[in-house]
C-alpha cells in the first residue's frame, strides 16, 4: 500500500531527516522503484536507520554493530588524493559515524563494523569483526574468484586505514586485527537468493518494496503520517486498472527525476 502510493502520487521533496545527520529527498527514495538503479543515498538512509535500531538491541545477547555509509569506500578510489588525505577522509567518516562521541569509548565496545561498497552498480559488504576477530565479505555475486583477486583493490586500503585508525585511538583490539594470521574470506552468511532468473528478479522486487516501506515507516521519515493516511485512502478508493496505469506512468517520471537529480 505505502509503496504503491509513494511512488505514484506523493509529491513532497524532503522525506527523511535524522536531526540533520542524514537528509534524503524524494528522488533518492524513488530509486527504490521497480527496475530502477538504486541511488547511493538509499544506503546512507539504510545505514542510518540500522544505527538507530541498534539503540534498541538486546544488549546482553546481541553484538553491537556499527554501520558505515558507502562514501567511506569511495575515498580509496579517488586518484586525486594522496595516501594521507585518503586516511583523513576515512578517519572523518568514522568520526561522523559515531556522531562526535569519543572514538575510543564508542569503538572499544563495538563488535562488528559493516562497510558497504558500490562498484560498477554492484553493492557488497565488508565485515570487520572485532569480536572474533575476522575480516569477511558478504556478496551475492556468483563469481567464485579468490577474495583478494575480487575485492583487493578496495579491501586492502580500507583494512590499512582501519588498522591505522585503531592504533591511533589506542583501541584494545588493534593488535588482534593486525595479525597476519587473519585471512579475509567470503562470509558463510546466505542471502537466500536463487540463481539469476525470473524467480530471483521477483524476490529482489519484493525486497525493494519491503526496504522502502521500512524506511518510510521509520520515525526519521517525518512525512510518515501524511504518507500513511493518504496511502490508505488512495489504495482503497482507486480502481485496479488506474493503479496499474499510475505505476506505468511513474516509471517514466521517476527515471526523468533521477537523471535530473544525479
For residues 133-150, average pLDDT: 85
Tell me the pLDDT tens digit for each residue of 16-67. Answer: 888 777 888 877 887 887 778 888 889 999 998 998 888 888 878 889 899 9
Cβ–Cβ < 8 Å for 2, 228 = yes
DSSP helix/strand/coil, 1: coil
Cell numbers standing for residue 190: 546466505
User: What CATH number does domain 68-189 carry, 3.30.310.130, 3.40.30.10, 2.60.40.2580, 3.40.50.10170?
Assistant: 3.30.310.130
Higher pLDDT, 165 or 231: 165
Outline which parts of the chain fall under CATH 3.30.310.130: 68-189
- Count Cβ atoms below 10 Å from residue 1 Cβ, excluding itself: 12
Which pTM value belongs to this model?
A: 0.84
Whether pLDDT at 139 is above 90: no
The pLDDT value recorded for residue 166 is 92
Q: Nearest to residue 109, comparing CAs of 48, 172, 178, 158?
A: 172
C-alpha cell at 51: 544505527
Q: What is the pLDDT of residues 98-129, one digit of tens each?
A: 765 555 567 888 899 999 998 877 889 999 99
Is residue 65 within 8 Å of residue 54, measured between CB atoms?
yes
- Mean pLDDT for the chain? 81
- With a cut of 70, say whether residue 256 has pLDDT above it: no
pLDDT at residue 10 greater than cutoff 80? no
- Whole-number pLDDT of residue 74: 77
Amino acid at each position: 500500500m505505502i509503496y504503491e502510493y509513494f511512488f505514484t502520487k506523493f509529491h513532497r521533496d524532503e522525506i527523511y531527516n535524522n536531526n540533520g545527520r542524514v537528509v534524503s529527498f524524494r528522488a533518492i527514495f524513488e530509486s527504490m522503484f521497480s527496475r530502477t538503479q538504486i541511488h547511493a543515498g538509499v544506503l546512507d538512509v539504510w545505514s542510518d536507520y540500522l544505527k538507530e535500531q541498534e539503540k534498541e538491541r538486546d544488549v546482553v545477547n546481541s553484538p553491537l554493530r556499527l554501520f558505515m555509509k558507502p562514501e567511506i569506500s569511495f575515498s580509496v578510489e579517488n586518484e586525486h588524493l594522496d595516501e594521507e588525505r585518503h586516511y583523513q577522509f576515512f578517519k572523518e567518516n568514522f568520526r561522523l559515524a559515531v556522531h562526535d562521541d569519543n572514538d575510543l569509548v564508542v569503538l572499544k565496545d563495538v563488535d562488528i563494523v559493516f562497510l558497504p561498497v558500490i562498484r560498477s552498480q554492484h553493492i557488497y559488504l565488508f565485515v570487520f569483526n572485532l569480536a572474533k576477530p575476522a575480516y569477511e565479505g558478504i556478496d551475492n555475486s556468483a563469481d567464485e574468484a579468490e577474495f583478494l583477486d575480487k575485492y583487493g583493490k578496495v579491501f586492502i586500503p580500507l583494512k590499512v586505514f582501519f588498522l591505522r585508525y585503531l592504533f591511533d585511538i589506542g583501541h584494545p583490539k588493534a593488535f588482534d586485527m593486525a595479525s597476519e594470521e587473519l585471512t579475509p574470506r567470503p562470509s558463510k552468511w546466505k542471502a537466500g537468493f536463487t540463481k539469476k532468473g525470473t524467480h530471483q528478479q521477483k524476490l529482489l522486487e519484493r525486497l525493494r518494496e519491503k526496504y522502502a516501506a521500512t524506511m518510510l515507516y521509520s520515525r526519521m521519515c517525518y512525512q510518515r503520517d501524511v504518507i500513511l493516511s493518504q496511502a490508505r485512502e488512495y489504495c482503497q478508493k482507486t480502481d485496479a486498472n488506474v493503479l496499474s496505469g499510475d505505476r506505468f506512468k511513474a516509471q517514466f517520471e521517476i527515471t526523468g527525476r533521477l537523471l535530473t537529480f544525479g
